[in-house]
Structure formats: structure tokens, C-alpha cells
Structure 1
């Protein structure tokens, strides 16, 4: 009997130890950057800390929707990457947690400004300018002129040759919509989006998909962040990158800790690690050509030179707010997406 009790007791200890191990040293990461970068960040953090990472990759619009849907029972711990606007909206709706990282003194001012504008519920991890790229072979094969401005994309000869993401699912596409409104004024900006709609061959779910399709020869012109177009060009595809002549918007890619995170200590460890120069230098291994937020991190010589691009004074606070984002997306749904093509 004593032996049976001892075996049972030992089994209980083993089960308890197993349960403790199962609940500790884990992190659920929601990632909105490119897939290979997301995988590299997850595996590198595991190697650096021994913390197991369960990573899910979705576009920033999709991730925002998921975080909001799960708010009463959060399943994610950290949301890393993707355009800043949905991160700012998540902060405004208290879906993310305020955190002051000890790494802040290593960051560029624009990364800190992103945090301060959101009560420190998000922070900038990289920046990148909006633009487009085109497949030079397809452009020549279709005898199309080389575009250099936003308005060029409205020309009737480009009908069926332009692709962008849906702004409801993609932070890149929402930045495009918000940039046109700020660049041309709201009414003229929506007229631009209507004219562009006539030439669109497909609205994709992911923001980088249009230029990947252009690289493969399945699409001619892709509206994307310029660093995504650079990646295709550097990879050997016949893609030329354009900084539109009128000026353009830009993103501050962001990171947030999800409110009610089950693994809060691990979330803060990832947050601090992801702001380090070493972690941000990992971008170079996967040809991610954004400008990193840590002042000591390396920027690829192939990355777009932000100082030479005509950037608008993008109003992150306004266009990252919940009300404005919802309003613009609703107007796009009603006034643009319903139009015939």
C-alpha cells in the first residue's frame, strides 16, 4: 500500500511539474511583418532566451481585428510589426498595455514620438516610405509609359495593370488611403481613389502581395511600401521602385504588448530584446529594407534613402485614431469599393 501511495505521489509531482513547465517560459507572438522576418525574430528570441514562441503571421489590419475580437479573453502576448495606425487605434481602445522599456534611450526620436502619442502603449520599431514598383518587362511588353507620379496611375492605359491591398485588411493600403487624403485633401483624395479603382485588377489581403505578384510577372504595378519593392529588385526580379513626384506618406512600424497578456513577463522580455540593435540587425538577413528605430542598428545600403524622398507631414495621431480610421474605411467601402471596374 505504501509503495502504491508513493507511486501515486510521485505521479502527482510529475504532473504538477509538467503543468508548471507548460505554463511557463512561453510567448504568443502576433507578427505583421514579412513571413521570413517574423520567423527569424521568433526563432532568434527562442535562441537568445530559451522562451518558446508560438508565432502567427497576419497583416496588421487582420491582427488588429483579432486582438479586438479576443479582448475579453486575450490569447496573444505581443504584436510586433505592421503599420503604426492600427497599433495606435488598439492603444486608443485600450487593447494594448502601457510599458516603458529601458531600451528607449537607444531609439530615434520618431520611435519615441510614436510611443508618447499613444500613452506608451506602442512604440516605433522601423520606418518606411509609401510608393510603388513596376515590372519593367511587363511595362515594355504592353508598351506602357514609365509612371513617376501618383496621378500617372489614373491614366486609362494602366487599366487592369495596377494592384493594391484592401485597406480593411492591410495597414499598407490604409496608409495609402490616409496619405491620399492628406496629400490632396479629402474630396480630391477620394476622387483619386475612385479613379485608381478603375485601373485596379485585384485588391489583395496582404500589403506586400501586389509587388510580389509584379516580381513574378503576374501584375504590372504594385502600390506598396518602397522597401517591399526594393526587396523584389534585390532578389533579382525586374522591378523598378518609384517615389511618387507629388510626395508620399510613410509608416512607423510598431510593436505593442496586448492587454491582459497571459505571459506578461515574457512579453516585456521580447519587447526589450526587439528594440536592441542586435535584434533589429536581423532584418538584413531577410532583405527587410526598413529603417530601424535603434540608432545603433544597421540600415542596408539598398534601403530607400528617406532624406531624398518628398514625405508629407503624416498625421499619425489623427489617422491612427479609432474614429477617423473607421470613418475613412467606411467611406472607402461605400464610395470606392462598390464602383464598377
Structure 2
């Protein structure tokens, strides 16, 4: 066992003495980021600590649903990544455990704010702005002017060319839904989504899938977090990245400990480690261009600079509230989802 395990695990075992007599050598992890990053984090943590990680990759909505379904008999220890809204919903529903990590003092203000908003039941691990990536070759071939604003996505020439995820399964798509509601007002946002739906070819399960489809030439445009579009552009695909002119929302990718988890001590070891610059810099090794939450982590040069994007004052507390989120998703199902079927 290496020094990180000795230091971190020792502290959590002492703190947890007399509590659950759970194994400190196992960790059940849900990861809601790209699979390459999930696997990198799990493998590196195993190597450094000797703790065996059982990891599954689920989108944010799927992760929340799994944790909620297992509330009486939790099977998961840590939920890492994915948009902050469902993490806040889990906190609101008391599905996650309160924990003030000693690493909090090293994090950027938006990450600490996420922890404070949730009563320390979740914390920010990365951030990124919402936008889209479009395939320059497809749009040029169709003679479609490059869309720079949300309003441009209603262009009839884009019929069948837009891909976006389903907000029930995807935190990215829920962020898009909540962003439009905050930009336009709720009724106006749903009118917009119905109109844009005429141009949508598919509602995917995964939030990053739309721009991957655009990169492969299966769609003209994918609405995603901008760092996911940057990844495709850096990989050499003909993808141009856009931050919408009217303004846009952003995510605070988050992490939560599951309340009543089977391995709470190992969970805290992972939680503290993954907030370090060493762990956060692993994202660059797999081509992930999110903005990390530790002040000392390396900021990817390719990442869209938030100061250059017209960001709305996204209300994480309101749109992470359980009732608000449920109502918006129910309305999306009745109006937008029903129209797509």
C-alpha cells in the first residue's frame, strides 16, 4: 500500500471507528463522465491505494434513478461526475451523505458554493459551458449558414440535422432545458423546444453522444457541453464549437457520497483523492477538456474560457430542487417527448 492510502485511509478509519464495519478495500463507483476518464480514475486509484474499484458508467439521470431505487439498501459508495442538478436533487432527497472534505480549502469558489448549497452533500469537481458543435462539411454541403445563436437552430434548413439528448437520462440535456427556461421563461422555452424539435433527428440517452454523431457525419449539429465538442475537434473531426450569442448555462460537474453506502471509509478516501491536482490532471491524459475544480490543477489550453462565454446566472438551487426538476421533466415528456413519438 502506498502513502496516499496510509494517510487518507488512516484518517477515515479513525473517524469511522464504531460505525459500519465495512470493508476499506472495496469501492463501488458510479461515474457519469466519458468512459475513458472513468476508467482512468478507477485504475489509477486502485494502483495508488490497493482498493478494488467496481465501476459502472451511467448518465446523470440514470445514476440518480439507480441511487434512488436503492435507497433502502444502497449498493453504491460514490457517484462521481455528471451535471450538478441531479446531484443537488439527490442531496435534497437526502440520498447523499454530508461530508466536509479537508480538500475544500483548495477548491475554486464555484466548487465550494456547490458544496455549501447542498449542505455539503455534493461538491464541484469540474465545470463547463453549454453550447454545440456543428459539422462544417455537412452544413457547407447543404448551404446552411453556421448557427451562432439559439434562434438559429429553428432554421428549417436544419431539419433532421440536430441531435440532443433526452433530459430524463442526460444531465447535459436537462441543463439545456433549464437554461432555456431561465433565458426565455418557461412557456416560451417549451414553445421553442417544440419548434426546434422539428429539426431534431434523435434524442439520445447520453449527453455527449450528439456531438459524436456530428463528428461521424450522422448529424449536422450536436447540442452538448462545449468541452465535449472541443474533444471531437482536437481529435481531428470537422467540428466547430459555438457558445450561443443570447447566453447559455453551464454545469458544475459534481461528486456525492451515497448515504448508508456499504464502504463509507473507502468512499471518503476516493472523494479526497479525486479533488487533488494529481487526480484532476488525469483528465488531460484522456483528452478531456473540462475545467477542474482544484485551484492548483492544470487548466486545459483547449478548454473554452468561461470568461469569454456569455453565461447566464444559472440558478443551481432552483433547478436542482427535486420538485422543480420533476415538474420540468414531466412537462418535457408531455409536450416535447410526445411530439417526437
For the aligned pair, the TM-score class normalised by the smaller chain equals over 0.9
**Residue aligning to 2:13:** none
Counterpart mapping for 1:188-227 below 5 A: 188-227=188-227
**Residue aligning to 1:13:** none
Give the direction of change, closer, same or farther, for the CA distance of 1:112–1:23 in structure 2 (3 Å limit): closer
**Residue aligning to 1:337:** 337
**Residue aligning to 1:86:** 86
Cα distance in 2 for partners of 1:153, 1:301 equals 28
1:52 to 2:43 alignment:
no
Cα distance in 2 for partners of 1:242, 1:109 equals 26
Counterpart mapping for 1:308-319 below 5 A: 308-319=308-319
Q: Residues 159-216 of structure 1, C-alpha deviation per residue, up to 9 Å, x if partnerless? A: 1000000000000000000000001111111111111111100000000000001111
Counterpart mapping for 1:166-315 below 5 A: 166-315=166-315
Cα distance in 2 for partners of 1:83, 1:340 equals 25
Cα distance in 1 for partners of 2:340, 2:177 equals 19
Cα distance in 2 for partners of 1:332, 1:60 equals 17
Report the secondary structure of 1:251's partner residue: strand
Cα distance in 1 for partners of 2:330, 2:225 equals 23
Cα distance in 1 for partners of 2:94, 2:86 equals 12
Cα distance in 2 for partners of 1:340, 1:219 equals 17
1:143 to 2:143 alignment:
yes
Deviation at 1:142, TM superposition (A): 1.5
Q: Does the 8 A contact of 2:211 with 2:221 survive in 1?
A: yes
**Residue aligning to 2:28:** 28
Cα distance in 2 for partners of 1:226, 1:40 equals 22
Deviation at 1:23, TM superposition (A): 4.6
Deviation at 1:336, TM superposition (A): 1.4
Cα distance in 2 for partners of 1:171, 1:105 equals 27
**Residue aligning to 1:134:** 134
Q: Residues 196-240 of structure 1, C-alpha deviation per residue, up to 9 Å, x if partnerless? A: 111100000000000001111111100000000000000000000
Cα distance in 1 for partners of 2:299, 2:33 equals 17
**Residue aligning to 1:8:** none
Q: Does the 8 A contact of 1:197 with 1:337 survive in 2?
A: no
Give the direction of change, closer, same or farther, for the CA distance of 1:266–1:322 in structure 2 (3 Å limit): same
Deviation at 1:24, TM superposition (A): 4.5
Report the secondary structure of 1:138's partner residue: helix
Q: Does the 8 A contact of 2:144 with 2:158 survive in 1?
A: yes
Cα distance in 2 for partners of 1:58, 1:31 equals 6
Cα distance in 2 for partners of 1:295, 1:337 equals 40
Q: Does the 8 A contact of 2:24 with 2:265 survive in 1?
A: no
Cα distance in 2 for partners of 1:295, 1:319 equals 26
**Residue aligning to 1:9:** none
Q: Does the 8 A contact of 2:161 with 2:219 survive in 1?
A: yes
Cα distance in 2 for partners of 1:232, 1:83 equals 20
Q: Could you tell me the TM-score, scaled by structure 2's length?
A: 0.93
Report the secondary structure of 1:284's partner residue: helix
Q: Could you tell me the TM-score, scaled by structure 1's length?
A: 0.93
- Structure 1 runs, 4 residues or longer, greater than 6 Å off: none
Counterpart mapping for 1:73-112 below 5 A: 73-112=73-112
Q: Does the 8 A contact of 1:59 with 1:169 survive in 2?
A: yes
Report the secondary structure of 1:62's partner residue: helix
Cα distance in 2 for partners of 1:140, 1:115 equals 45
Q: Residues 109-164 of structure 1, C-alpha deviation per residue, up to 9 Å, x if partnerless? A: 11010001001000000000000010111111122111100110011111100000
**Residue aligning to 1:328:** 328
